[in-house]
A and B are shown apart, each in its own frame.
Chain A
Amino acid sequence: MSGADGSGSTAPEPSAGKGKFRRLLGHAIPVSAAIGIFLIWEVGVRTFGVPNYIAPAPSDVGRTLIEQWPLLLRNFWPTFYESIMGFLFGNMAAILIAVAFVHSRTIERAFFPIAVFVNTIPILAIAPILVLIFGAGLTAKVVIAALICFFPTLVNMVRGLQAVSPETLELARILSASKSEVFWKIRLPSSLPFLFSALKIAATTCVIGAIVGEWVGANLGLGALIIDSTFNFRSSLLYATVFLSSGLSVMLFALVTIAEKLVVRW
């Protein structure tokens, strides 16, 4: 995971200095694009005199981020907790069910259509139902976050567990490997790249699930804060909350990416 990895893939470098420069340039381009957009936004809002409650300037949002940090943080932790729990439960369930599907065609045939059906229900439509069932507490949000993670992981994990070449399975047979040996020594490791692709999706969607859950009914959490600040025309706070929730997604995504680099070394 050292920086050398990233530069090594681009091109053979004539000198280390030049490679470093290129890498810096590689970072500089997206960063300056982002800064450019912020600048245009700031200047645009100021020159056209857009009222703060319609579109706050980035500087206002930045100030709110700092001034309201305790409030934001108080609302950050519940969402963080719900996202993580949803991520863990949703993926765990998906992995176990994928294993069951690969183990038995009958189970797959019975339950895969149901999984597809559940996946087609918009999360916004199912969220109130889950809040009705589980109440306005933590459980409903965790379930919603878990549900949104579930399907991509299920599909990817099934594919990953099946992504073993027929010849490798013949090798296993010649070695008289048992079903569990094939699973632990061959199927599970070969599914890991697929699993991590799904976990990266789940890392961002679980936050969406938690926030949607909080919209339906919560006093605390980034989702609740979004609703609250919108209705009170506290637009700077709304924007700051949105940035924080996206920051949460990015953080979870980065954690999964680091884990992937550590686990999938091949």
Chain B
Amino acid sequence: MGADDPAGTARDYAAVLSNAVVRFGSFTALQDISLELEQGAFWTILGPSGCGKSTMLRLVSDLVPAASGEVSILGKSTEEARLAREFAFVFQDATLLPWRTALKNVELPLEIGRRRNIKIPVSDRSPRELLALVGLQGREDALPRELSGGMRQRVAIARALVCQPKLLLMDEPFGALDEMTRDHLNLQLLQIWAETGVTILFVTHSIPEAVFLGQKVLMLGANPGRLREIVDIDIPSPRAIKVRDTQEFTKYTAYLRRLLEAD
């Protein structure tokens, strides 16, 4: 990724939030969030329910506006970044269109805006290759109802990658899956991250998942939603599942659990 700006400006960061505030009416969902997400990083967001984890992703993805403060993505406003498809979003529910095959679902972002002659960035990988990247070769023509929950979520990830986003926002994407599938998808996601170099901001309510995936864990607090601590996870990549059995790993999870309980 081009660090052609030696001065270290906002463009070097996938996302920069400075004193960002989100309000819903009189309720303050997020208060004074400031952070600088480096390009190519993988950060996870953890916190009690109602702390504004999802709201933070929605703020970055231009789904909710900032009441005050600033959010920029690769030096652009969130709206400009959205129009340029700089980021993609993966929801907890796969949100596939049930009448489209897996391949057609992956191709959806390429169809949106085509008739309006909007310039859409396209991944070097074809939709078929992206399906193969998430381990779904041979299932291109399957309808969503013919796929398991984990497979559907992998289609959603392939769809998110089809416009070559710089930033991937994931809102508890594996929250509804069983543990085995979840482990498998966690490993696959780390692999995709390594292969594509995409920056990932990943919301989860699972402490082990947050530690296993993240280079940093953002710990949010509730009432009002705020950033409490950024915890560096010094476990070298590539990580294998058995990392979770190390003392180092449990040290992090224990620390984060204490933080969560102390809120």
Query: Which residues of A are in contact with B by a Cβ distance under 8 Å?
Result: 165, 167-168, 170-178, 181, 185-186, 189-190, 192, 264-266
Contact = CB atoms under 8 A, between A and B. Distances in A.
A186 B82 contact: no
Interface stretch (B25-33, B89-97, B216-224): B89-97
B62 to A, nearest CB: 8
A188 to B, nearest CB: 10
B176 interface: no
B95 A176 contact: no
A185 B98 CA distance: 12
Interface string B77-117: 00000110101110111010111000000001101110110
B145 interface: yes
Contacts of A176: 82-83, 85, 112-113, 118
B143 to A, nearest CB: 5
Contacts of B230: none
Contact of A170 (B87, B88, B89, B98): B89
B143 A171 contact: no
A174 B145 contact: no
A185 B111 contact: yes
B106 to A, nearest CB: 13
A184 to B, nearest CB: 10
B144 interface: yes
A177 B113 contact: yes
Contacts of A189: 97, 99
Contact of A171 (B58, B89, B111, B113): B89
B113 A175 contact: yes
Question: Which 8 pairs between the two chains have the least Cβ-Cβ distance?
Answer: A266-B98, A175-B112, A266-B99, A177-B112, A167-B91, A167-B95, A174-B89, A189-B99
Contacts of B116: 178
B72 to A, nearest CB: 17
Nearest to B82: A176
Interface in B131-150: 143-145
A174 B64 CA distance: 11
Q: Taking chain B's interface residues, is the majority helix, strand, or loop, or is none over half, making it mixed?
A: loop
12 contacts: A165-B93, A165-B95, A174-B62, A174-B63, A175-B113, A177-B113, A181-B113, A189-B97, A265-B143, A266-B98, A266-B99, A266-B143
B113 A266 contact: no
B212 to A, nearest CB: 25
Nearest to A171: B95
B63 A170 contact: yes
Nearest to B145: A266
Contacts of B144: 266
B44 interface: no
Contact of B91 (A171, A185, A190, A266): A171
A177 B233 CA distance: 38
B113 A174 contact: no
B61 interface: yes
Contacts of B108: 175, 185
B102 to A, nearest CB: 12
B95 A175 contact: no
A168 B98 CA distance: 11
Contacts of B82: 173-174, 176
Nearest to B79: A176
Contacts of A177: 112-113
Nearest to B93: A167
A176 B111 CA distance: 11
Nearest to B61: A174
A66 B152 CA distance: 57
A175 B63 contact: no
A173 B109 contact: no
A69 B62 CA distance: 69
Contacts of A168: 95, 97
A176 B82 CA distance: 7
B128 to A, nearest CB: 20
Nearest to A182: B112
